[in-house]
Amino acid sequence: MTSLTNKDKRDVIKSKVKAPTEESCVIPDSTLKISKESAMLPINSISNVDDKSTMTIISDTKSEIMEIKSTNVSEPINSNIPSFPVAAKQSKKIPILDPVTASSNKPVNVSVPRTLSSPISRKSLNIDQRPLVLTTHLVPSLPIGLFEIIGAIIEAATNTPVVLLHESRIDRPVAEDIVDIAILPSNKEWPNGILLPIGIVFEHRFNKHKTPGVYADIVVAKEIAQNIEDIIDLRGHSCAVPDRYRKVGTAGLLFNYLKSKGENPSFFGNLLDTDTQVVTLQMVAGKQAEVGVLEAPVINCHKHTLTGVNSLFILDSLGPLPPYQIMINPKQINTKHREQIEKYLLNVQFIEDWIVRLKPYGILGFAEYSKDNYDIEDIKSVVTSVRYY
């Protein structure tokens, strides 16, 4: 018997192997199409199915994208196809800034408006009489420019010059010997002041009926947003709150919600107290806290100016709280001026010039309200029995 060399054996094997034909290499349209353009994509993820019935799968072994294309969009899913991990349900979280326009963590470079205030006209304002003194305790959480506009509105209503003051420190009383009108937080007390039955109407996705009131938004940092779908998912995270020890406030709304779910004060891993609403927003944007609860108008007024805000998400909203209080000093404001102010504020929504100036602050106008519409007991902060560090 003739023995074959190793080379001869290889030639025999090759001759028995059938070379692939061109027809056998054709891949139908309904099979897999492989693209190698994204070798560094995250592993083991699956995208949503689009209107062309294209499902994208990312391989964890070769980091390749495989697209399964169906020739019939209306064709039902074949039960014989192996089941893949189901994509997470669409989150209800909304970004504070549109991710398309917010490309970096830098604040928007807003040019300084080139405006010049007109001098007081003797025809429009009675400058010979004592000016009205307007004060607010809402700065810096709300911009001082907002109250300059409100001061101008009061000037138009009363034909009297208005001098603007502001107090940014907490727990300072209203200087009632000199103040005529005060715009205060809903939890601020002025025993001798009279509350006007009119509140500011802020734009908010929950304020469908355009009523006065202030909603509390719960903001979360980008780093934890992907794992959070509900307030209960915030367990163990650090949370910044601006008004934990006040009778009425955003912290009270949050604590009462947690209490209704059977939770206690140890729900958060760490609770951080802040002096103002805007500091709460800054702490979350600056990664000093993972979660924050604050008044929605504050977010709207500062979302284009604070660094890092464009990386935050609004998880949910609670409320509303009673509106910011517009109060008058009965010793200084006579009945005539009071009626003029009330009537003019209610008509602001019909005056285009005022609405254009108020729109950047998210204000739609002013409307009547009664504190009887708000159950203060329901929105009071629950007593915290656990000390936070």
Q: Same domain, yes or no, for 309 and 341?
A: no
Please give the Cα distance from 200 to 364 (Å, whole number): 8
Give the sheet arrangement for strand 32-35, strand by strand. 32-35, 65-69, 54-58
- pLDDT, residue 47, reads 39
- Partnered with residue 46 across adjacent β-strands are 57
> Is 326 or 65 the better-scoring residue by pLDDT?
326
Q: State the pLDDT confidence band at 108, using cuts at 50, 70 and 90.
A: low
Q: What is the CATH number of the domain that holds 188?
A: 3.40.190.10
**233 located within any domain:** yes
Model confidence over 290-343: pLDDT tens digits? 999 999 999 999 999 999 999 999 999 999 999 999 999 999 999 999 999 999
Cβ neighbours for 381, distance < 8 A, ≥ 6 positions apart: 243, 244, 245, 246, 247, 248, 249, 251, 252, 255, 256
> Which pLDDT belongs to residue 194?
96
> Which domain does 187 fall in, by range?
132-207+323-378
Q: Is 150 exposed, middle or buried (0-12, 13-18, 19+ CB in 10 A)?
A: buried
Q: At what angle do helices 335-347 and 144-158 cross, to 10 degrees?
A: 120
Q: What's the mean pLDDT in 351-374?
A: 92
Is 100 inside any structural domain? yes
The pLDDT tens digits of the residues spanning 120-150 come to: 556 678 888 899 999 999 999 999 999 999 9
Radius of gyration of the chain (CA): 31
Same domain? 102 vs 228: yes
**List of residues 6+ apart from 370 with CB closer than 8 A:** 197
Residue 61 scores a pLDDT above 60:
no
Q: Are residues 313 and 330 in the same domain?
A: no
Highest mean pLDDT, choosing among 95-99, 100-104, 318-322:
318-322
| Residue 378 CB neighbour total at 10 angstroms | 10
Domain boundary among 298, 320, 342: 320
Q: What is the pLDDT of residue 120?
A: 58
Compute the mean pLDDT over every residue in the chain, rounded to the nearest whole number.
78
The answer to whether the Cα torsion of 373, 377, 275, 99 is positive or negative is negative
Burial per residue of 59-95, b for 16 or more beta-carbon CB atoms within 10 angstroms, e otherwise: eeeeebbeebebeeeeeeeeeeeeeeeeeeeeeebeb
The answer to whether residue 12 sits within a structural domain is no
Let me know if residue 127 belongs to a domain.
no
> Is residue 201 domain-shared with residue 329, that is, in the same domain?
yes
57 and 102, same structural domain? no
Tens of pLDDT, residues 1-40: 555 555 565 565 555 545 555 454 444 444 434 333 333 3
- With residue 315 as reference, give the H or E element that holds it: strand 313-321
